[in-house]
Amino acid sequence: MIKDSSDDDIVFGPAASESDVPNEDLGGEELDGDDLDGDDTGGEVRIGEEVFRDIVVPESANGQRIDFFLTQACDGFSRTQITQAIQAEGATLDGRTVRPSVRIQASQRIRFRMPEPPTDDTVPENIPLDVLYEDDGLVVVNKPPGMVVHPARGNWTGTLTSALAFRFQSLSDVGGPTRPGIVHRLDRDTSGVIVVAKTNAVHMHLSEQFANRVVEKEYFAITAARIDRDRDIIDMPIGRHPYQRDKMAIREHHETSKPASTFYEVISRHGRFTQVRVKPKTGRTHQIRVHLSHLGAAILCDRLYAGHAEVTMGMLTGTHDETKDKVLLDRQALHARKLTFEHPQSGKSMTFEAPLPADIMRVVNVLERLP
């Protein structure tokens, strides 16, 4: 796997080889259990097609949230999966259905319906796709916001790869069984243009273009602050955040840091907000988001770097009456607008553009009416 991409964009080259006792009146089949912190955490029992886990809360977990505790107690599942299972009335505490936020006490008894385990292969799903272009070698898709590109921990269904597997008979397998056709990636909350390979030869050619940085990528963003310079290049190395593992940060002379360069150009300013065109020259995880945040102009609704996850008309206009409290945008205002590359088969330069999605356009329309 070659990690070389624009913001939230990872290029996929050849994949590496992958090599208490249950209640007696349930009539279920007891499965192997394990211990947590040496206390009696119970075992698992199968009732029909469902598997439950019975746990007696140990002293060490006294006062913890039930979703946090079960994430530690049930290996192989993310906290998101555990939370979703609890929300689906999958957990009882001393016989009562509870919410994920409930605090547990020592000696209480939990019965938890285990989520379905993830599979190693992509499961085709009939999910609509906005296909911008297709030929016998590749497909270009306008990815909607909220869609994960490929299955990963906590996101095993509803992915772009599931939609692709359902719609297309043949896709490249260079990236491995869970990433058919996937050459590069966009983050879940970043919408826009993404190219998919149908054959291995096309996949390898596209991967090489991304790795050599000859693919031109243009993003549209709205920042939650005014950018004073009309245009500039940000050259600042990016590495892992020192204490938040899901974030990146500007870090010089650190073992995780890599050079990063981003060109930006202001499209228009609206009070304290800015519409901006961004062209990453290098490709690092969260590059655009980190660089704009470094300017003091984090992307609007960027949960990680702006500190807020939604915006209303009242927040944009500075008024806060009930008629203006409707949420206009609830994900980062970042859109992969254009992608230019050489077609692996014809050798021609091709540019694909995805129009701004409806949620970002709602914000643009409000901003452009501001004085």
- Catalytic (active-site) positions: 187
Strands (E) in 184-315, as ranges, are 191-197, 216-223, 231-235, 238-240, 248-250, 261-270, 273-280, 311-312
Q: How many CB atoms lie within 10 A of CB 347?
A: 7
Residue 322, Cβ density class (10 Å: 0-12 exposed, 13-18 middle, ≥19 buried): exposed
Residue 114 φ/ψ, nearest 5 degrees: -70, 140
3-state secondary structure of 297: coil
Concatenated DSSP letters for 2-42? Answer: B---STT--B--SPPP---PPPGGG-PEEE----BTTB---
- Taking CA atoms, 23 is separated from 42, 44, 94, in Å, by 11, 11, 13
Q: Please choose, from the candidates 219, 220, 215, 199, the residue with its C-alpha nearest in 3D space to the C-alpha of residue 350.
A: 215
CA angle 358, 336, 130 (to 5 degrees): 60
- Return the closest-CA partner of residue 290 out of 334, 322, 346: 334
